[in-house]
Amino acid sequence: MSILLSNISKNFGQFAALHDIDLEIPEGELVALLGPSGCGKTTLLRIIAGLEQADKGKIFLDGDDKTDLHVSQRGIGFVFQHYALFRHMTVFDNVAFGMRVKDKKLRPSETEIAKKTHALLELVQFDWLHNRFPDQLSGGQRQRIGLARALAVEPSVLLLDEPFGALDASVRKDLRQWLRNLHHELNITSIFVTHDQEEAMEVASQVVVLNKGRIKQQGSPAEIYDYPANEFVSKFIGQTNEFTLEHYTVDWFKHIGLPISAESKIAHVRPHDIEIVKTANNDTPITLKDWQHLGALIWIELTKNLPNGKPKLVYVEMPNEQFKRLQLNRGDKVDLKVRHAHWFN
Amino acid sequence: MSTVISRNVHQSTLDDANWVRWSLIAVALGFVILFLCVPLVLVIIQAFSKGFGAYFSALSEPDMQAAMRLTLLTALITVPLNTVFGVAAAWAITRFEFRGKNLLITLIDLPFSVSPVISGLIFVLMFGAQGWFGSWFVEHDIKIIFAVPGIVLATLFITFPFVARQLIPLTQEMCSEEEEAALSLGASGWKTFFLITLPNIKWALLYGVLLCNARAMGEFGAVSVVSGHIRGMTNTLPLHVEVSYNEYDSVSAFAGASILAGLAIVTLILKTILEWKQTNRATV
């Protein structure tokens, strides 16, 4: 089901959590709402769910205005960061809950409920846990049960609030993969909130970057990474080197391949867009400071002595093989070449 | 080795000397025996001082029976009302933001801080023959003061905070996420309350109800002011004990007292069980 938000605003007292959010999510997408903490992403998700009321604006699900509809009538599935499983019920009863509370006319028979509950538990690979209580499960297990419970009501939209936020790094990695596969299988329009850019890039088909209650950019992970629309997105997604234009550095920028014009003020360069060139010229201001092995990649720290005497750190990333070929040592003087840069005013 | 030694030294400097420990325990235990156990035993001895026959005939005396019935009736009315109020108040305070919330929390505690006699007097001032609404009630021939309604009202006031006070900390701590989850799964507000909220607070609720009941049955001060001490009519069990004692009918007085003491012991046992259940809530 497609989601359309128009002009959503929300204030908490004096604090404006969301300003005029317009967002369109086509059917079947798996969307990440990404941003630093306090940017309004969870509030936006809760407004879509109906757990929070927007001060202004409208919410359309599949073209129908659902702005004033109660959360229980919206047909959404919500997955909570801290699972929110019903602690006095078994796993089975948790998953069956949504079907059992339906109106008598719409409620399936108890045998149908049992059949469907077991099928959902199979889907999340935990049918063998059906008579456990939530506090007997690990975090990863609980979150999968939480998802099965949300799916039991056949929601048209699945909303996940930092679904992996409370989990260990290794479990998180597994669950991300699993969620993406599950989405391929079920194809429910899904939105998940995260502050982890890596998670957003890995799982989502569309990423919406938020900051201070405003949408900064929306696009596929590749678009967001390769064509950041503004300084915030460029810095928030991935690593970036920031070069500020100052008159005494213009020559150096030209030298390394950044064509500076007077209007451009800040250049952002990804660490993998910088090439290191060995040089015999000892006057170059760049010194190799240190490096770290990140497996397939090498993370290199360089210092550039600015004419005003302060050193500036420049980060470069290159494949392990290439680094070996260059045969660099700490303290080597080198030249840089920039392959690609983004300009922001 | 050195760490072990230093830890031992450290520990002995932190621990109190043995005599401090034992004398504190002795003081506490002595107080319990002197002021709780001895009186309780005395009540029972006095109640049976003229034999079992006298004890049971004192209990089956019509005035005593009337007092017991009135006490039960009062508890039967006030406890459910204050349970409903307590749940509603705890819910409102922890789930909604509204003006005057802190005032409401403070006011709930009012009956704890006011002397019960004053509480009784408030009702005499309001509903007594000379009171604010007194003449209206006299005109319509409705008796409140020196009658059962007055006793119920005074007890209602006194036992007001018990359930709410038990529930507020729990509903505050209980994450509302479970309730939100139930709502998102399509459950109505009522279903969410009965299927999710109530099972989570049930032990604390029962605990509050128990304390409320104990106080409703045992209240003396406030009820004494509004009751008028009419034998067989407006005497609750605690009042009956006092009246009998003043009339040197010690068997009757102590028989009544033994019933109240028995109630206290049962309450204490149930309270311990409920406390245990509450702390084991998480592990089901």
Query: How would you write B108-123 as a 3-class SS string?
Result: HCHHHHCCHHHHHHHH
From A72, A82, A98, residue closest to B177, measured CB to CB? A82
Q: What is the mean pLDDT of residues A20-28?
A: 93
A113 touches chain B (CB under 8 A): no
The single residue listed with the structure tokens 């307590």 is B86
Check residue A247 and give its pLDDT: 66
Q: Give CA–CA dist B215/B165, Å, rounded.
A: 14
Q: What is the mean pLDDT of residues B198-224?
A: 90
Q: What is the mean pLDDT of residues B124-148?
A: 83
Residue A283 has pLDDT above 50, yes or no: yes
Cβ–Cβ under 8 Å, residues B94 and B172: yes
Check residue B101 and give its pLDDT: 84
Shortest Cα–Cα distance, A249 to chain B (Å)? 55
- A contact test, residue of B180, B185, B188 with most A CBs within 10 A: B185
Asked if the Cβ–Cβ distance from A153 to B185 is below 8 Å, we say: yes
Q: What is the mean pLDDT of residues A72-99?
A: 93
pLDDT band at B177 (very low <50, low <70, confident <90, very high): confident
CB–CB contacts below 8 A, A to B? 70
ipTM: 0.84
Among residues B252, B218, B233, B236, which one has the least CA distance to residue B61?
A: B252
A154 touches chain B (CB under 8 A): no
From A51, A101, A153, residue closest to B191, measured CB to CB? A101
pLDDT band at B75 (very low <50, low <70, confident <90, very high): very high
A-chain residues within 8 Å CB-CB of B196? 86
Asked if the Cβ–Cβ distance from B182 to A86 is below 8 Å, we say: yes
pLDDT tens-digit profile of B83-129?
999 999 888 888 787 888 888 888 888 888 889 999 889 888 888 87
Q: What is the largest CA-CA distance in chain A?
A: 84
- Dihedral in degrees, nearest 10, Cα atoms A45, A49, A54, A60: 100
From B175, B186, B283, residue closest to A101, measured CB to CB? B186
Rounded mean pLDDT of chain B?
86
Residue A282 has pLDDT above 80, yes or no: no
Can you spell out the DSSP letters for A287-331? EEEEEEEETTEEEEEEEEE-TTS-EEEEEEEEEHHHHHHHT--TT
3-state DSSP assignment of residue A220: coil
The CA distances from residue B80 to B73, B195, B213, B236, in Å, are: 11, 20, 9, 19
pLDDT tens-digit profile of B239-276?
999 988 898 888 888 889 999 988 888 988 988 888 88
Strand-pairing partners, residue A337, are A275
Among residues A74, A2, A9, which one has the least CA distance to residue A214?
A: A9
Q: pTM for the complete prediction?
A: 0.78
Shortest Cα–Cα distance, A286 to chain B (Å)? 52
pLDDT band at B3 (very low <50, low <70, confident <90, very high): very low
Residue of A nearest to B192 (CA): A101
Can you spell out the DSSP letters for B153-191? HHHHHHTTHHHHHHHHHHHHHS-THHHHHHHHTT--HHH
Check residue A263 and give its pLDDT: 63
pLDDT band at B19 (very low <50, low <70, confident <90, very high): confident
pLDDT band at A27 (very low <50, low <70, confident <90, very high): very high
pLDDT tens-digit profile of A146-197?
999 999 999 999 999 999 888 888 888 888 988 999 999 889 999 999 999 9
For A31, other C-beta atoms within 10 Å of its C-beta total: 22
Amino acid at A97: F
Q: Give CA–CA dist A146/A169, Å, rounded.
A: 19
Q: What is the mean pLDDT of residues A275-285?
A: 80
**A154-189: string of b/e by CB count within 10 Å (b at 16+)?**
ebbbbbbbbbbbbbeeebbeebbebbeebbeeeebb
B-chain residues within 8 Å CB-CB of A85? 178, 181
